[in-house]
């Protein structure tokens, strides 16, 4: 188990988590796309609500870089479903619910004291390598600038090849 956030260049650990009450999503299923993993403490909290709303509004920008955003917290699939519907989110929220925080731990972003995910971002390339990671203070919305800069940097490297 990782005890520090996974860094640039590391292989993103594969996982399978519930994205709806009757569907599961595997990271491996998104191979060939860039993936933005947004770990966050809890549905319904003010900062998390603002952060997920921003990513919802930024989806078209992310998709221009062949990237999909995925939110992950320890909340249940039912809690995520209610949160997605209430906030009109159009990207999956994955339930790192049972065993609680297992995937957050794999990525080095589980807060043992609080029993929830830390606020962290990962940009993963088409081959499953982490190209950018960021651990944000829990009470601070990290925004989308770092994600977009990482995606643009990946585009520039791709164009140079």
Q: Tell me: cis bond preceding 69? Omega within 30 of 0 counts.
A: no
CATH code of residue 81: 3.40.30.10
> Over the stretch 95-146, which tens digit does the pLDDT of each residue have?
999 999 999 999 999 999 999 999 999 999 999 999 999 999 878 999 999 9
Token duo for residue 89 = 């989110």
pLDDT class of 157 with cuts at 50, 70, 90 = confident
In a domain, 77, yes or no: yes
Is 139 a domain residue?
A: yes
Domain presence at residue 18? no
The answer to whether residue 79 is catalytic is no
Residue 24 has pLDDT above 60, yes or no: yes
Whole-number Å distance between alpha carbons of 12 and 27 = 9
Q: Residues 10, 17, 48, 72: which is the catalytic one?
A: 48
């Amino acid at each position: 188990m990782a005890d520090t956030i996974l860094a640039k260049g590391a292989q993103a650990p594969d996982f399978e988590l519930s994205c709806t009450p009757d569907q599961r999503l595997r990271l491996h299923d998104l191979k060939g796309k860039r993936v933005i993993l947004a770990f966050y403490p809890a549905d319904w909290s003010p900062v998390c609500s603002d952060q997920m709303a921003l990513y919802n509004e930024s989806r078209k920008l992310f998709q221009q870089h062949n990237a999909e955003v995925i939110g992950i917290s320890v909340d249940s699939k039912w809690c995520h479903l209610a949160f997605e519907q209430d906030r009109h989110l159009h990207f999956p929220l994955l339930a790192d619910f049972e065993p609680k925080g297992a995937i957050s731990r794999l990525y080095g972003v589980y807060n043992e004291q609080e029993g929830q995910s830390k606020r962290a971002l990962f940009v993963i390339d088409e081959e499953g390598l982490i190209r950018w990671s960021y651990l944000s203070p829990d009470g601070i919305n990290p925004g989308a600038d770092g994600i977009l800069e990482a995606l643009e940097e990946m585009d520039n490297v791709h164009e140079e090849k």
